[in-house]
Structure 1
């Protein structure tokens, strides 16, 4: 496994697309309400990104048809925007990617539509708090597997489980690069494998399920749900390791 170390100039190049991801996620929240269609939201996201002289990097990526992944209720990640009209009490994951001058940005949030249940709020809070808590614990010299352990512990102590088979990833000149960062520990020994170093840039994205982390892909060949049939949540930031600290590049 070869994980690219970025210099200061390269990290500065990555700041632009990732700052735009944060700005896009902040912008779109005002439009997420009952009565709005997923395609309307996707169009607003695409127009906003294009208006900043950037490209929506998800569109056409591996054949994905839209500018954003919009995942409603039981869909945890990779939902395709359709004509579905948002209803009061829905929850929606919004995952956005951008590209500027060949550099990529990536980030996601999950939010409620109108008034949601306390259980759904706990589900959303779990993904968000897990993400922020885990970022705060990153240190140079830490094994990536140790980061996976921290992610899993944060999810489980809140009463939920991580989605399996999907993970965070490196990012830079490619939208997905080394390393892969699962939200769970795959072996008991977490003190092995590659370590986190200054100059690395990667995406951390806890994907949270209620009872079962076993994934199932729907007939559209994109939307991922849990075998338990319950709702899920997803949050993501791109971080750069600068002067020994994990700096969030997708902060709004």
Structure 2
């Protein structure tokens, strides 16, 4: 989400509510698996988006991106951002090519509860530098998940995320941040992937019941971005590649629940209770 200067207190969730969010999270994970399977050279992003829309319809889930308000309502159920496009790319008839990297972001609401996740997909064989960009971005998200039950304040985690990115020679996007999530897709608090004077003023305590959509956006060179004339697509100003990954995660008394983890991290027939949900140690380590 676009960074705002108006902080609000987090909205904490109960264990029952977190379990309900996991049901939405499983659908989002399955939708992204569909995207990964389809994302091949010659396939258009519009074709992938249509498949996801049909998937949500079959499962009576509400896609949260389509119609999202802006200067023009967002026209699709997924954001499809290629190469220098950072986030909010609009699916189109553009065909994927060997060597592209595709960022796919999608969210849905099921039975009143939301989940949001993004992955970056290499199309065929990508350059070593693009592959390293994706790997570092995935590592940055995993750092946040691993540290969530070990720190007291979000800024402590954000500083480690930023350091990991910058030590790799890349840069963190600062114009867009993660967010709280629950009955609405965008709730408080804002979840930056970096630390500066303003984000320290908006810092929040890490406590059970906190549910966050953590989404590092990492540019290969400079952090500056701009929005194209379609009013949605965010691109790097220097037109160098960018990567983006995201998970919806919950902090509980028993650890971190990865709400949007792949279904393989949870037995299909397991009861939806906090003890049966995947934690950061039992969830899939693949964050894309």
TM-score range, shorter chain: over 0.9
Distance, in Å, in 1 between the alignment partners of 2:85 and 2:15 is 38
Structure 1 length as normaliser, TM-score? 0.95
Partner of 2:113: 103
Q: 3-state SS of the aligned residue for 2:12? A: coil
2:160 to 124, 127, 150: 150
Deviation (angstroms), 1:187? 2.2
Deviations 1:134-169 (A, max 9, x none): 210112662122222122112112221101110010
| Within-5 A mapping of 1:39-118 | 39-62=46-69, 63-118=73-128
Q: Secondary structure of 1:147's match?
A: helix
1:208 aligns with 2:213: no
State the distance in 1 between where 2:95 and 2:48 align. 10
CA distance in 2, matches of 1:140, 1:170: 19
Per-residue CA deviations over 1:68-107 (Å, capped at 9, x if unaligned) read: 0000111010000011011111110000111112211100
SS in 2 for 1:22: helix
| Aligned partners of 1:59 and 1:67 also within 8 Å | yes
Unaligned segments of structure 2, at least 5 residues: 1-7, 263-288
Tell me which of 12, 30, 37 is aligned to 2:37: 30
Stretch moving more, 211-220 or 65-74: 211-220
Shift of the 244–159 alpha-carbon distance from structure 1 to 2, 3 Å rule, reads farther
Q: Give the counterpart of 1:3 among 3, 10, 25.
A: 10
* Partners of 1:209 and 1:232 within 8 A in 2: yes
How many residues are matched? 252
1:192–1:43 Cα change, 3 Å: closer
SS in structure 2 of the partner of residue 61 of structure 1: coil
Q: Confirm or deny: 8 A CA contact 1:140 1:198 kept in the other structure.
A: no
Unaligned runs of 5+ in 1: none
Between the aligned partners of 1:169 and 1:244, the Cα distance in structure 2 is 22
Q: RMSD of the TM alignment (CA)?
A: 1.6
The structure-2 alpha-carbon separation of the partners of 1:175 and 1:187, relative to structure 1 and needing over 3 Å to count, comes to: same
The aligned counterpart of 2:277 is: none
State whether structure 2 residue 232 is matched by structure 1 residue 222: yes
**TM-superposed deviation, 1:193:** 3.2
Partners of 1:121 and 1:105 in 2: CA distance: 27
TM-score (norm 2): 0.84
1:235 is the counterpart of 2:225: no
